[in-house]
Chains A and B, each alone.
Chain A
Amino acid sequence: MSNTDFVLAVEDLTVSFDGFKAVDKLNMYIDKNELRVVIGPNGAGKTTVLDLICGKTKSTAGSIKFKNRELTKLSEHEIVRAGVGRKFQTPSIYENLSVYQNLEVSYPKGRGVFGSLFFKRSDEVVAQVYKIAKEIMMEDILHTEAALLSHGQKQWLEIGMLLMQEPELLMLDEPVAGMSAKERDQTAELLNRICQNRSVIVIEHDMEFVKKIAHKVTVLHQGKILAEGAMDKVQANEKVIEVYLGH
């Protein structure tokens, strides 16, 4: 495939688990500064697509190009360092560290063994932690142990940990799961803010939430794309209503 302007270009991506194709010849293109939402019924393969992009699962066939760089051959940490951040479906934070430490440990300097041994907490690091803490509305609880946070706050903290790395592509798996209505609104605002200078892929089931954030929606079904486009168009699509929105 030749070079493109897309931040992410996924082509013919396939993964098969013992013959079961969880993702089947998928093509997907993400623009710069785009916020894409991926929806679809349970087991459609949404999480698996993110697993493939971030290197957690190795693809069987196809290519994933991030800024024209092939990702399928890279290891997980190389993909992160290339600029791809990923939030897991269940909030994944370091419970035994404080909010501040969770953020600081995610700062993208001192990533090697010796780099981390001699890492110095510079003003720059502290400033970045405070900036992100403010962004995720947690600047007042920096010293709180992460285990004590509410479910919604844990989700935000994980997003904050990714933002610390200033990724160019951010992938969020069900970021508002377990959140109150108010928290969902705040998260929508947060996502609209952070996609200003980066591309974001969000997996979500909550259609109200999707409407608030999506630039474009991709509907996945049985590992394949069922429909793609603007929210209202997709919502009106008969196939989509039948397999997903109808119930």
Chain B
Amino acid sequence: MNETLSKILGGKQGAIGLAILAAFIMIVLPLGLDPFRLGLIGKYLTYAFVAVSLVLLWGNGGILSLGQGIFFGLGGYGMAMFLKLEASDPVSTAIQSTPGIPDFMDWNQLTALPWFWEPFKSLPLTILAILVVPTIFAFLIGYAMFKRRVGGVYFAIITQAIALILSILIVGQQGYTGGVNGITDLKTLLGWDIRSDSAKYVLYYVNAGLLIACILLSRYVLSSKFGMLLLAMRDKEERVRFSGYDVSNFKIFIFCLAAMISAIGGAMFTLQVGFMSPTFIGIVPSIEMVIFAAVGGRMSLIGAVYGTLLVNFGKTMFSETYPELWLFLMGGLFIAVVMFFPNGIAGIYEKYAKKVPFLRKLSEETPKAKKAEAIPAAPVETKEAGVKA
């Protein structure tokens, strides 16, 4: 296997894990579930983007962001703005005092489209904005924090505060953002009705494909020297700095990448669920996302997806029957995972899979194989050179 390809797939073991995940979300779930349930899974899988981003940022980089909702939300709002403009054509908004602008603007006595909405008339510009705006925002936050060597708990609290501020800002600026209701009544994407069952299937698969692509990209990053440096920084930041690396740049980059991945999830959320609101930006969703990653195993990209699915399943089931208990249960789950299963589902799998004959076959040799792979044999010349020296 070509080296880059094998890096992306994570070797044989990684490729198997990924194939199982892909088969599960792309074949088993669509075959086994009715469209409504599958729609729920599609929604959960958009959160999985954020969980994957947290595996990069928190699990590997040791940087805990309690504000990933910011980027999920920015991506989601970008997509919602485009869809809203499409739904607000002059004909369907003819009864407004200013036709052709989104309804909530009209209710708030706006008479023209605000300048920052203009780019969202174009789909290519919207896609660009979904990817770039959250990344630039992350760059600004990251630059301000990491260059000043703000880290750890302080960083977590600041990201949390920014998430809160942003959600308050969006709620407060109703005329520009749709306020607390968010941006609703989204109908079509370039004339294609996103509410139909067939569209929901297509979007589900696009979402699943993008998620796998993000996992592959993350695998590449983690398997490069960059990934090794992330682990090194998490352990001994000073040693990395005094080995000639500008540590802050590495942190800024991984924070930006995590933001971009989260934003893709946000945009796919809007497409599948049909609205975006500030409730996905604030403190609670940002913390929930961390719990998804923790339950899945904060070091495991694939575990993060299972963790997200599992917690959300639990949430849906419990909040239907005992809505008031769910938050306590989730808090308890988080504490239990952190205390007893620091590596989450992925850790439990690693530990117990070996006892099941079929699974053992898959995961046998992993630790050894991994290590052997990580260490190339000495080049012949050097061995000789070494003897001479």
Q: Which residues of A contact B (CB under 8 A)?
A: 54, 56, 75-77, 80-81, 85-86, 88, 92-98, 100-101, 104-106, 108, 110-113, 116-119, 121, 123, 126-127, 130-131, 134, 139, 142-143, 158, 161-162, 165
Looking at the assembled complex, report how far the CB atom of A80 sits from the nearest CB atom of chain B, in whole angstroms: 4
Assess the A101–B376 pair: CB atoms within 8 A: no
CA–CA, A85 to B239, complex, Å? Answer: 10
Assess the B235–A88 pair: CB atoms within 8 A: no
Smallest CB gap from B244: residue in A: A80
Q: Which of chain A's residues have a CB closer than 8 A to the CB of B235?
A: 94-97
B1 lies within 8 A of chain A by Cβ: no
B381 lies within 8 A of chain A by Cβ: yes
Q: Which of chain A's residues have a CB closer than 8 A to the CB of B243?
A: 80, 105-106, 161-162, 165
B233-254 contact mask (Cβ, 8 Å, vs A): 1 or 0: 0111011011111110110010
Pick the contact of B379 from A56, A100, A126, A134 — CB < 8 Å? A126
Q: Which of chain B's residues have a CB closer than 8 A to the CB of A111?
A: 244-245
Q: Which of chain A's residues have a CB closer than 8 A to the CB of B376?
A: 121, 126
CA–CA, A104 to B376, complex, Å? Answer: 11
B2 lies within 8 A of chain A by Cβ: no
CA–CA, A4 to B374, complex, Å? Answer: 45
Smallest CB gap from B382: residue in A: A127
Query: Which of A81, A98, A134 gathers the greatest number of chain B CB atoms within 10 Å?
Result: A134
B385 lies within 8 A of chain A by Cβ: yes
Q: A130-B379, A131-B382 are in contact. Are A94 and B224 (CB under 8 A)?
A: no
B91 lies within 8 A of chain A by Cβ: no
Taking A92-B238, A126-B376, A139-B378 as known contacts, 5 extra A-B pairs with beta carbons closer than 8 A to each other, sorted by chain A number, are A56-B242, A80-B243, A112-B246, A113-B253, A126-B382
Assess the B228–A101 pair: CB atoms within 8 A: yes
**Sorted from nearest, which 8 A-B pairs have the closest CB atoms?**
A80-B244, A119-B225, A127-B382, A116-B226, A116-B225, A94-B232, A130-B378, A92-B239
Pick the contact of B224 from A76, A81, A96, A118 — CB < 8 Å? A118
Assess the A77–B245 pair: CB atoms within 8 A: yes
CA–CA, A134 to B378, complex, Å? Answer: 11
CA–CA, A56 to B225, complex, Å? Answer: 25
Q: 22 A–B contact pairs at CB < 8 A?
A: A76-B242, A88-B238, A92-B236, A92-B238, A93-B236, A96-B234, A96-B235, A97-B231, A97-B232, A98-B374, A98-B375, A100-B375, A104-B228, A105-B243, A108-B244, A117-B226, A121-B376, A126-B379, A127-B378, A130-B386, A131-B385, A131-B386
Smallest CB gap from A127: residue in B: B382
Looking at the assembled complex, report how far the CB atom of B198 sits from the nearest CB atom of chain A, in whole angstroms: 39
B372 lies within 8 A of chain A by Cβ: yes
B148 lies within 8 A of chain A by Cβ: no
B371 lies within 8 A of chain A by Cβ: yes
Assess the B375–A142 pair: CB atoms within 8 A: yes
Assess the A100–B382 pair: CB atoms within 8 A: no
Pick the contact of A127 from B249, B253, B375, B379 — CB < 8 Å? B379
Q: A126-B376, A130-B379, A134-B386 are in contact. Are A97 and B250 (CB under 8 A)?
A: no
